[in-house]
Amino acid sequence: MTAPDDRDRGTEAGGGVLHILVADAFQNLRAKRQRSLLALLGIAIGTAAIIAMVAIGENAKHHSLRQFQALGTDILAIQKDFAAPGLKAALTIQDADSLKSLPGVEVTVPLAVVGAEVAYGRNRASAAIAGVTGNVFQLAQLKVERGRVLTELDRHQTFVVLGAEVARRLAGQGGALDIGVPVRMGGYNYTVIGVLKEALPNPLLPVDINNAALVPLPGVRRVTATAEITNILVRKTSDADNRAILHKISGYFSEGLRARPVMVQDARQLISAMEDEMRVHTLLLTAIGSISLLVGGVGVMNVMLMSVVERRREIGIRLALGARPCDIRTMFLIEALVLSFSGGLAGIALGVMAAALYAWNASWVFVPSLVAVPLGAGMSIGAGVFFGLYPAIQASRLQPIEALRSD
């Protein structure tokens, strides 16, 4: 049996000393538990603030992207430019048909949106009345909960498909609106042929589908005589070049008698702009959380400086018995790390819980952030090292005789 060499003995001794220092750090912090608890609480709050804010920002980004994914990233929205000076001519069905003939365009959907009251018996609900064509349901990926959707055969009928929220309000508390019942809009009775499932809001749609009543486009003027087409949704083919399609659409609305001021929104451009905005928000929220962590770090420094003052005799004895200044420095740094690491663990749990609670309250799907937890833990440990270094250096500079005399 071979004896361990010096390197193995050094490793075992180093591990044993580290274990003793960590145990000693816990013992010293427990002896001043009230002061240590306050410093730990500061680190925990700072870490929780960073994790919660970054995680909430990530979940807001995820929720917004889900809204686009529900509709698709190959959608363009053409809208009448109401800010343009002069007469603003409406869009037409002919525009939608002409745009459909452009290379790279798969589907076009004209929409006319007005506001009106929907009545069913004694129940009333303010809703957006959207005049649509039958292909809007496929383009916007709308699903029915009961009944059916509108088709091109219904274009001259007084049929309506209700959004989930409108149907819920008309049915009353705890009820469900039956298919085939009449609802009144603009002085006409419309027959309910379908109720849609809950849909995610989408910035490209000019209307919140959940709070809308969808009727055939030719009959929307029954509700309001001044109704006009203000939006056209366009779905591109999978192989279409995005810039080329935008250029063709802009060219169509700038030629001769068809010249009208319009705004064209692209899903990919909106997603890119949203990601840039979310990135700025995440950095801002991290900076705000770092201020809270800074306050907690000051608390750690305060605890460690008080510990140095109260333990001058102990430090003097250790130095007199052969401890090196680097050993004293390591001892206090480990105490600061134990304090900040414990606070960091508590802060991680609090931050994740706060972010999950916020997501639940906002009706979001909570997605754990892969960045927030490592960032919060790393910053809490970094704060412990940074704010514990000065007290550790102060302790290591004490002279044994002066430290013993001060008692």
Predicted confidence pLDDT, tens digits, the chain (407 residues): 444 454 444 444 445 566 776 777 667 767 677 777 877 888 888 888 888 888 888 887 777 777 666 656 788 889 887 666 655 567 888 899 989 888 889 899 999 999 999 999 889 999 999 999 999 998 888 899 999 999 989 988 999 999 999 999 998 877 788 999 999 998 899 999 999 999 877 778 888 999 999 999 988 988 888 888 989 999 888 788 888 888 888 888 887 667 778 888 887 777 777 777 777 877 787 787 778 788 888 888 888 888 888 888 888 888 888 888 888 888 888 888 888 888 888 888 998 999 899 888 887 888 888 888 888 888 888 888 888 888 888 888 887 777 676 65
**Which pLDDT score is estimated for 8?**
47
Distance CA 253, CA 88 (A): 12
Collect all residues with Cβ–Cβ distance below 8 Å to 370 and sequence separation of at least 6: none
Please tell me the distance from the alpha carbon of residue 296 to that of residue 290, in angstroms, as a whole number.
Answer: 10
Task: Single out the residue of 154, 221, 156, 224 nearest to residue 194, CA to CA.
Answer: 154
Q: What is the pLDDT of residue 169?
A: 92
pLDDT for residue 11: 43
Token digits of residue 184: 């009144």
Phi first, then psi, for residue 319 (nearest 5°) are -65, -40
Question: What pLDDT was estimated at residue 63?
Answer: 77
DSSP result, 290-310: HHHHHHHHHHHHHHHHHHHHH
Q: What was the pLDDT predicted at 85? A: 60
CA distance 113 to 115: 7
Q: Measured between alpha carbons, how far apart are the two ends of the chain, in Å?
A: 51
User: Taking a C-beta distance cutoff of 8 angstroms, is the pair 54, 372 a contact?
Assistant: yes
How far apart (Å, rounded) are the C-alpha atoms in residues 36 and 41? 8
Contacts of 164 (CB under 8 A, 6+ apart): 145, 195, 196, 197, 198, 199, 210
Would you state the pLDDT for residue 111? 93
Cα–Cα distance for residue pair 80/261, rounded to 1 Å = 7
What is the Cα–Cα distance from 249 to 252, expressed in whole angstroms?
5
Residue 372 pLDDT: 80
Report the run of H or E that residue 108 belongs to, with start and end: strand 105-120
Q: What are the C-alpha distances in Å from 183 to residues 14, 114, 136, 173, 221?
A: 82, 17, 22, 17, 16
The encoded tokens of residue 160 equal 């309506």
What pLDDT does residue 146 have? 93
